[in-house]
Every structure is written in structure tokens, then in C-alpha cells.
Amino acid sequence: MPSSSLPDLNTLWLKWTDVCNNCLRQSDFYGAIAAVFHLNAVFGDENRVEINSEKYDELTKENVKARCKICNEETTQNEMSTQTISTDYITRCLTGEDKETVWTCSNCRSTNTLKTTEFIREKFNSPRYLGVIPEPPTRKRGIAGYKSFEFAAKNWVRHAQDEISYSFGIERREYVPKVDRDDIADNDDNN
């Protein structure tokens, strides 16, 4: 990065952050979204945040696993095959239910009742910067569409600003001023 790049980057960063925040204050959500795109365009390709909803959803999805009561093996929800079976007479008398849902463990082939299965949720930990954000929301027609768009747009802009701020921090850490580069070059020449 050239020596003058960081000051220019700082100026552009301040300008577009200010524009974005002013647009939010004035409820100009399309202006705020455009300002986020301009903020993101300030960076080089290596630190630019990707805007891709499918990739973002894949990285942030919550994984749910079921634990088998017999072998303690964890099975993902996608691998589970459930069945609805009739309950036996004693269970029917105790619970008052005629049917129950069960699943079969792929490891030990034992049958587990869905109602008593322990589920483990692997949640997306926040803050975690991924270098990718979803695409901005779009407004649906009508008054209800405006209110839901307002909420979604504010959340999207704040999330995008956080992700882009992280990229800005990386860009700043990677920056080496021209003076320091000259000192490093002089030291290399002397050795």
C-alpha cells in the first residue's frame, strides 16, 4: 500500500461513515445502504467484505444434533429419520397419547423417542467476523412493508458497519508508513 493510502483511506472512511449515520438519523435507509457499499469499496480486494447471503447463511447457521441414549453418538438433524408409531398400552395410559415420534440412531441402530432426546445446539458466536455479510433487505409494498424494512435495514447497516470496521482495522494494522519502510530498507542495505 502506498504511503499516502492510509490517510486517504481514513478520510474516505470518516466521510462514508458520517454519510451512513446521517442517512440513518434521517430514515433514509437506501442512502445508508448505499453508504455501506461505498465504505466497503474503499478497501482493496484482500480486505473487502463480500456481500453474499447464501455464503453468510451457511457460515452462521445453527447446527442441531441429537444424542443417542444408548451409545451417546451425536446425529445431525439432516441425518435423522423420524417415524410416528403407536404407543403401547401402558404408555398410552400414563401419557394419554396414542402415538409418539421416534428416530433411529445411525451408529447403534437403536430407537430413541424424540420427546426425551437430548438436543445439542451449536450456535453462531457473536461477535465473530467472517468477511461476508448478507445482501441488504428490500422493501415490500404497503405500510407494513415499510415498518419491517425500516427494522431490517437498520439491523443490516449496523451489522455491515461492524464487519467493515473489522476489515478497516486489519487494513490499518497491515499499513506500514513510508518512513518506516525507508528505515527498514536502509537497515537492510547496511547489513
Cβ–Cβ < 8 Å for 105, 71: yes
Angle between helices 143-174 and 29-41 (to 10 degrees): 20
Cβ–Cβ < 8 Å for 24, 16: no
> What integer pLDDT is reported at residue 66 of this predicted model?
87
Q: Going residue by residue through the chain (191 aa), what tens digit of pLDDT does each one get? A: 444 456 677 888 889 899 999 999 999 999 999 999 988 888 777 888 998 889 888 887 777 888 888 888 888 877 878 888 888 888 778 877 888 888 888 888 888 888 888 888 877 666 677 888 899 998 887 776 777 888 999 999 999 999 988 888 888 777 766 555 455 555 555 55
* Cα Rg, the chain, nearest whole Å: 27
> β-strand 99-104 against 82-86: which pairing, if any?
antiparallel
CB atoms within 10 A of CB 56: 19
CB atoms within 10 A of CB 185: 10
> What integer pLDDT is reported at residue 157 of this predicted model?
92
Q: What is the pTM of this model?
A: 0.60
Owner of C-alpha cell 508508513: 177
pLDDT, tens only, 75-118: 887 787 888 888 888 877 887 788 888 888 888 888 888 888 88
> What integer pLDDT is reported at residue 131 of this predicted model?
86
> What integer pLDDT is reported at residue 37 of this predicted model?
92
